[in-house]
Structure 1
Amino acid sequence: MATAESHLLIGIDFGTTFSGVAWAWSERPDEIFVITNWKSNLSKNSDTSKVPTTILYKNGLCTWGYDISLEEEPIQWFKLLLVDEADLQDDICACEQVQQARKVLRRHNKSEIDVVADYLRMLWKHSTEEIKKARGKAGVEGLPCRVVITIPAIWKPNAQERMREAAKRAGILSSPFREADLQLVYEPEAGALSVLADFQERPDIKPGDVFVVCDAGGGTVDIITYKVMGTDPIMLKEIVEGKGRLCGAIFPDKEFENFMKMKVRGKTWQKLSQSSIKSMVNNEWEHGIKRNYDGSDRIFTVSLPTGWTSGRLFHPLDDRKNDISAAQLSITGQRIRAIFGKSISGIRGLVNQQIEEVRKKEKKYPKAILLVGGFGACGYIQSALAKEHAHEGIEVMHPPGGKAWSAICRGAVIKAMTNSGIDTNLNVLISSRISRFNYGHLFMHPFRPGIDRQDDRIFDQVRGIAMATNQMIWYLKKGDDILDTKPVHFNWALTKDEPLSDNSFKLPLMHCESIDAPKRWSKEVKPLCDLVIRLQTPFEKLPMISGKDGKVHREINFEIEMTSTGTSLDFRVFMNGVQVGKSNVLVQYE
């Protein structure tokens, strides 16, 4: 997409529990606007920077977000369905929300990509309508648009590609703009771009400073560490590979609900109205205890809905504890710490791992831990990390007000600006990243007796020698520094006897997470994508070689250029030094 002309920049934070959208205009890039107007059936939510990632299929209609009636049971946590079950924690796969989501999708004959696309379609339509209200119809539909969607740092290529496919099905690339393109960015990277953009011109930020960025969201908590390489503009280098874990806000949310269930007699919980439960959780937990608890022994009170304290709903044992009054339930700080326990433990583990890696590589501690994401605004997370790392001189910082919750979608807009080459006071550049995988492909080499496996041995009729198949060649290794401006090149040659179908051939590319990339194919090596290349030279005009089998073969020599931009791989193909047109190179993901 041409970016010299005026265009819109839109960042989408598609979260497990809540999603947000921000936007800017290329002519005024320093002004980033966050969508805050949502239809709502709950109080305190009509003017907020996030909307629930929930969807309801009923009577042939599709409803989403805050607009779903409190009496309904919408599909939740469906973002997690884009990830292979083998890559999810056992307790997540077995949890009620994920199981219910799969059950509803089967009933409606919808795939995981379908439900994500349906939600994104409604989020996109609402957001673009809000942008039209701000800029006018002509100021939207007449412009091109660059869209950046955030994803967890732990997502593998197949989940990333499903996200891209869902966005396409949602119509994000087709309306209402004249043209649009799409890129993905890791959530903690977007958070870093957002927070550090506010650090521009601060005298205490200098080259060599190290920041650990922790994006604590609803489902995943992602963490990544950057070193400041320059300050005008801020230039960052990833020095510790981004990691993530499913230990976000959904876990204390579930524990709080379980705690309330425990307080209710027998099967009475199932008899309570869904609207009263959801209102109580929203008002007392989501907008109360969860945001205000700081780790102290302070006692909180939960205001109980009308009718909950009548008819002996609560266990007599609880009444003897005197923690239930006429319309309130008291919860001790100790109990709240237990509710947060699993999440805090997971977050501490991620942070400590990053700090230890920084000490090994940089021989010093990070300057600060930057907390972003909705869960990152939780006072308990802030106080727990500050207390643990105070003796190391590490500050714990977070954006003021509601900026922590909207940091990811605002960072996605800044990423869109960077991709567009826009000069802005918000520019924060990532000079290099760490490769999360090994990338390469299968090949064969001359057979080495006593070294290569006998079952890999084949006889090559063209060369007239024994060859070892199932060998791996890696062009980019896990842990390698990846420069945005430095692509990886590799050469390849094929010999063919018969004309190619559609004058095209396929090159399968593989990836592997192992720290030590295997030299031979193994079960750890997974398909990444196929490069389908259509030759511009007629088959009969390709160079000829005479094989040892006495036949004449056609030889295809080409060079692949692979550039990593963080979440995506871009490919260019060259033959005889001339680039093959993009229309003749198709990337097919598994």
Structure 2
Amino acid sequence: MATSQGPDRIVIGVDFGTTFSGVAEGYSGTPVSADDVNVIKTWPGGKGISSDKVPSELVYDKTARGSATGADEADGWSMVMPDVFDVKDLQASLPTQRAEAEIAVRWGFQLRPDEARLRCMKLLLDPQQDSQLPSFVSKRDIKSQLSDSGKDAVGAVADYLRELYKHAIVELNKRYTTLFVENTNLQWVLTVPAVWSDTAKEATLTAAKKAGMGPDLKLISEPEAAAVYTLQAIQPNHLKVNDSFIVVDAGGGTVDLISYTIKQARPLRIEESVEGSGACCGAALLNAKFEEYVKSKLGNASFNRMCRKQEKTWRTALNYFEEYVKRNFDPTDMVDFNVPVPGLPDNEAAGVEQGFLTLSAVTVASMFKPIITEVIQLVEGQMGELRNRGKGVGGIILVGGFGQSRCLYTALNFQYGWNHLPKAMRVNVMQPANAWTAVVRGAVLRGLEGTELVVSRKSRRHYGIVMHEYFTPGIHPVSCKEWDTFKEVWMAKDRMRWFIEKGQTVSSAEPVLFSFTTEFWPVENKAMTQGLIVCDGEVAPVGYNKASSSTRVLCKMVVPLFGVPIHLWEARHNSQGQRYERLSFQLGMQVESGGLRFDMRVDGVVYGNVTATFD
């Protein structure tokens, strides 16, 4: 795979998920194909177990000092190293060591199964998603834990990402040597859901920068990353120019979908055909249903006692369900499962015998059915939108942790791809071998390539600004009438000008330009703050009302007008002979995979980047 021009660098992809997170990397100095991306598989607290991902869970230890990881490693060293080594010095030098004054953080596999923890933190970053937390997660408990630790959602996510960051550096040092890593540019590529709001993307970016993943940090949408990997990994895939396909990123907490159309095959270039959709119907709901089932069999008291006193028993059972049952259950092959529960006494009524719990195929099917049904409804929604726009569906790409499920693959294949359907109606369902890591692998490939994959995107909302326009009696309400001391005319205030409409196709290469004219008295500081207004409704209003729920301020843009040369300002005088200065300029808004980027330009020349502060 060709890489972009520039100094060699290590690209680190981070897939921060609702329930699990993954990290992968690739070096630009060596050609990297889809399956050559190196995925980190060992984690603190994992006790040597190999896993493509680590739980997105966090615990703050108020009374502990230092990192649990660092202490554990130092204790291990003290058992095997000669007395000549000072274990305290070694512990202090470990890269995961936290400062003495900080609250210690335990994360991922370091957590005990019976303790309360922060989980599904990712959903708290998006005000539009945090009300959609899975039923097994209490928003009240999460808020309480954040409050007790003196953290907000961004702070907690930053702490988790910091642990990922530090562990990634440890693994990079092992792979490339510390000297090489210290002298090589590191580029972090963090994935975000396609349905993420601009506010959530900015919050994610802020958390990642606090975690140390900067300054060369990029965001990319999860389905875009999955498409990059899958279309390279599955060859041939029978998709050609003008074919449309749906990416189904089925994770632990959420399932996100988006549809693309292939515009160019080599190099691959695609465009968004339908804006993203999604719901909280991920595979973690299966874990919750499995836990409910075991509780119903053992009884609440026995179940709680097992989690408290036989931690490894429940962890073994849950791991078996996670790694084997969820991934391998196939409704075309209804085979019962024997879930290991080592140490539990025989209980005929509960189905426990010789250290195994019988889990019938019928029971597993009942767990899957409502979740599969919701996923298919989401796919139907994307297909319906494609058909409404005159496009057919050439393929479905199934990725993510839940995307590895044979049951989900079989259900989608039966619904859309099997021979019982007329040939013209069949859709090729693609499930790459590395479905769980498709997103993080694609993030690395996208970072290495460096160029935009998606040539255009569908706007998920209306974007505009509040402005004044000339007052027209009978059209504008009298309440918005305001005198302009510069133009010396009556203007209508709080009018909306929408520059991007919901569902509009927006180029990834060219910015959308917002035209402005502003006036200043000579003694005034030439600073301008402009709010960017968004509307999620289908029809955007013509006027702005702060109290209305249909519109809101997405961010405030600070425009550096002081950088514009004096000769570009137009000198004017009002009827009183008072001199003022006028400037016509444009704000450029670039709609990128991971968010929005702004600049300010006069006569097509960019005079500075615009700083945006998101609410």
User: Contact (CA 8 Å) 1:372, 1:399: kept in 2 or not?
Assistant: yes
Query: Residues 304 and 198 of structure 1: is their aligned pair in 2 closer, same or farther, counting only changes over 3 Å?
Result: closer
Task: Please name the residue that 2:550 is paired with.
Answer: 524
Letter in 2 for 1:259: Y
How far off is 1:236 after superposition?
1.5
2:98 corresponds to: none
**Partner in structure 2 of residue 232 of structure 1:** 266
Corresponding position: 1:565 with 2:608: no
C-alpha distance in 2 between matches for 1:33 and 1:481:
35
The one-letter code sitting in structure 1 at the alignment partner of 2:344 is W
Runs of 4+ in structure 1 over 4 Å off: 537-542
C-alpha separation in 2, matches of 1:26 and 1:70: 40
- Residue type at the aligned position of 2:369: G
For residues 243-281 of structure 1, give each alpha carbon's deviation from its aligned partner in whole angstroms, at most 9, with x where no partner exists: 111111121111111111112225332222341464144
How far, CA to CA, are the matches of 1:226 and 1:556 in structure 2?
A: 41
3-state SS in 2 of match to 1:580 = strand
| Aligned residue number for residue 276 of structure 2 | 242
What residue number does 2:481 align with?
Answer: 457
Unaligned runs of 5+ residues in structure 2 are 65-102
Cα pair distance change 1:540/1:572, threshold 3 Å: closer
> Could you state the TM-score of these two structures normalised by the residue count of structure 2?
0.85
Q: Number of residues paired by the alignment?
A: 557
Counterpart of 2:443 (choices 412, 437, 442) is 412
Change (3 A) 1:498 1:298: same
Match of residue 327, structure 2, among 279, 291, 306 = 291
Superposed displacement of residue 185, structure 1: 1.2
Post-superposition offset of 1:450 = 2.2
SS of residue matched to 1:149: strand
User: Following TM superposition, by how much is the alpha carbon of 1:297 offset from its aligned partner in structure 2, in angstroms?
Assistant: 6.5
Query: 1:124: how far off?
Result: 0.8
Alignment correspondent of 1:581: 608
C-alpha change, 1:146 and 1:459, in structure 2 (3 Å) is same
Distance 1:297 1:549, change over 3 A: farther
- Match of residue 35, structure 1, among 28, 37, 40: 40
In structure 1, C-alpha distance between the alignment counterparts of 2:493 and 2:184, rounded to whole Å: 52
Q: Secondary structure at the match of 1:383?
A: helix
Report the CA distance between 1:143 and its aligned residue: 1.7
Matching residue within 381, 384, 395 for 1:353: 381
Does residue 184 in structure 1 map to residue 209 in structure 2?
no
What letter is aligned with 2:374?
Answer: G
Q: 1:217 aligns with which of 251, 266, 273?
A: 251
Query: 1:575, 1:303 → 2: CA distance?
Result: 68
| Distance in 1 (alpha carbons) for counterparts of 2:457 and 2:375 | 22
Amino acid aligned to 1:38 = W
Residue 511 in structure 1 maps to residue 534 in structure 2: yes
Most deviating of 268-277 and 485-494: 268-277
Q: Distance in 1 between matches of 2:608 and 2:602?
A: 11
CA spacing shift, 1:497–1:437, aligned 2, 3 Å: same
Q: Deviations over 1:25-69 (max 9, x none)?
A: 112241421111223346xx7222111111121123211111334
The residue correspondences of 1:470-485 to structure 2 (distance < 5 A) are 470-485=494-509
Inter-partner Cα distance in structure 2 for 1:241 and 1:203? 23
Name the CA distance, whole Å, in 2 between partners of 1:299 and 1:88. Answer: 37
Gap change, CA 1:62 and 1:88, over 3 Å in 2: closer
Aligned partner of 1:17: which letter?
T
Q: Counterpart of 2:172?
A: 131
**1:57-96 equivalent positions in 2, closer than 5 A:** 57-58=60-61, 59=64, 60-70=103-113, 72-84=115-127, 87-89=129-131, 92=134, 95-96=136-137
Q: Which runs of 5+ in 1 are unaligned?
A: 174-179, 422-427
The whole-number CA distance in structure 2 between the counterparts of 1:236 and 1:557 is: 35
Q: CA deviation at 1:112?
A: 0.8
Q: In structure 2, how many angstroms separate the alpha carbons of the residues matched to 1:288 and 1:267?
A: 27
Give the 3 Å change call, closer, same or farther, for CA 95–548 of structure 1 in structure 2: farther
**How far apart, CA to CA, are the structure 1 residues paired with 2:568 and 2:247?**
55
1:52 aligned onto 2:55:
yes
Counterpart of 1:100 in structure 2 is: 141
Q: Indicate the percent of aligned positions where both proteins have the same amino acid.
A: 30
- Alignment of 1:198 with 2:256, yes or no, is no
Aligned equivalent of 1:111: 152
Cα deviation for residue 19 of structure 1 reads 0.6
Question: Which residue matches 2:519?
Answer: 495
Say if 2:466 is the partner of 1:445.
no
Distance 1:446 1:285, change over 3 A: same
Give 1:378 shift: 0.6
Query: For residues 478 and 111 of structure 2, what CA distance do their matches in structure 1 show?
Result: 62
CA distance in 1, matches of 2:471, 2:112: 67
Matched ranges for 1:256-267 at <5 A: 256-267=290-301
Match of 1:309 in 2: 345
Please give the secondary structure, in 2, of the residue aligned with 1:561. Answer: strand
Residue 188 (structure 1) shift:
1.0
Q: Judging changes above 3 Å, is the alpha-carbon distance between structure 1 residues 12 and 558 closer, same or farther for their aligned structure 2 residues?
A: same
Task: Report the counterpart of residue 177 of structure 1 in structure 2.
Answer: none
- C-alpha change, 1:294 and 1:89, in structure 2 (3 Å) is farther
Output the CA distance in 1 between the equivalents of 2:237 and 2:299. Answer: 59
Tell me the CA shift for residue 566 of structure 1: 2.4
Considering only aligned residues, what root-mean-square deviation do their CA atoms show, in Å? Answer: 2.5
